[in-house]
């Protein structure tokens, strides 16, 4: 009788251990937001097989640039240029991504061109481009650039009345210092309400 009770207790303990382990894994793993067109202020993609969703830096890292609160900054400028800057700033070498679309005025598919690796604060090419780099406290670091026809961004909703821009994207980007080294960005999606996304 005692042996039967002991076996039952051990079996229960093993089942409980594996259930807790599985739950912990699912909590820690980031999940892509659903693809929506409601102005949900979401962004996500998969970079070389790992999910990237925006996260603000931990206080010990000093925080990201002030314009990238919550790891996300979105701007639609008066000249119709659309900019997304998103990243996971919680630790060294987490990816951040910059997407630029010039003269965005409607839904449609836009092909990325060769990126110069610069942001809106400096000279921009007159065509859509993208760059990806790991967040680092150091000023310089490895940067991956879009190339001509290396990927697309599709604007699935452009609502100028309610200020909602939604879309999907994917690309292959190359290391600016070693063009043979590439990374894959897949399953990209975003859904922004321009009135509230940067609040």
- DSSP H helix total and E strand total for the chain: 1, 11
H/E stretch holding 156 reads strand 151-159
Q: How many whole angstroms separate alpha carbon 33 and alpha carbon 22?
A: 21
Q: Are 197 and 72 in contact (CB under 8 A)?
A: yes
- Residue 130's SS3 state is strand
Tokens of 11: 């079996």
Query: How do strand 50-52 and strand 108-111 relate by DSSP bridges?
Result: unpaired
Instruction: Report the DSSP beta bridge partners of residue 63.
Output: none
pLDDT values of the chain reduced to their tens digit, one per residue, 199 residues: 555 544 444 444 444 444 444 444 334 578 999 999 999 999 999 999 999 999 986 554 444 444 445 789 999 998 999 999 999 888 667 889 999 999 999 999 999 999 998 887 666 788 999 999 976 555 557 899 999 999 999 999 999 999 999 999 999 999 999 999 999 999 999 999 999 999 8
Task: Label residue 30 left, alpha or beta by phi (over 0 means left) and psi (-120 to 50 means alpha).
Answer: beta
Q: Could you give phi then psi for residue 144, rounded to 5 degrees?
A: -110, 135
CA 104/CA 80 separation, integer angstroms = 5
* 196 close to 186: Cβ distance less than 8 angstroms: no
pTM score: 0.79
């Amino acid at each position: 009788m005692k042996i039967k009770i002991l076996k039952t207790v051990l079996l229960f303990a093993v089942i409980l251990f594996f259930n807790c382990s599985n739950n912990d894994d699912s909590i820690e793993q980031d999940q892509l937001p659903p693809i929506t067109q409601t102005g949900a202020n979401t962004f996500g993609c998969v970079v070389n097989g790992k999910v990237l969703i925006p996260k603000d830096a931990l206080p010990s890292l000093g925080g990201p640039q002030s314009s990238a609160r919550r790891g996300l900054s979105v701007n639609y400028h008066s000249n119709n240029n659309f900019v997304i800057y998103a990243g996971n700033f919680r630790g060294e070498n987490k990816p951040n991504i910059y997407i630029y679309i010039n003269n965005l005025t409607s839904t449609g598919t836009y092909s990325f061109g060769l990126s110069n690796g610069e942001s809106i604060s400096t000279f921009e090419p007159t065509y859509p481009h993208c760059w990806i780099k790991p967040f680092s406290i150091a000023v310089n670091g490895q940067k991956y650039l879009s190339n001509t026809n290396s990927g697309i961004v599709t604007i699935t909703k452009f609502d100028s009345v309610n200020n909602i821009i939604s879309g999907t994207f994917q690309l292959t980007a190359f290391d600016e210092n070693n063009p043979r080294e590439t990374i894959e960005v897949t399953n990209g999606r975003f859904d922004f309400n321009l009135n509230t996304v940067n609040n």
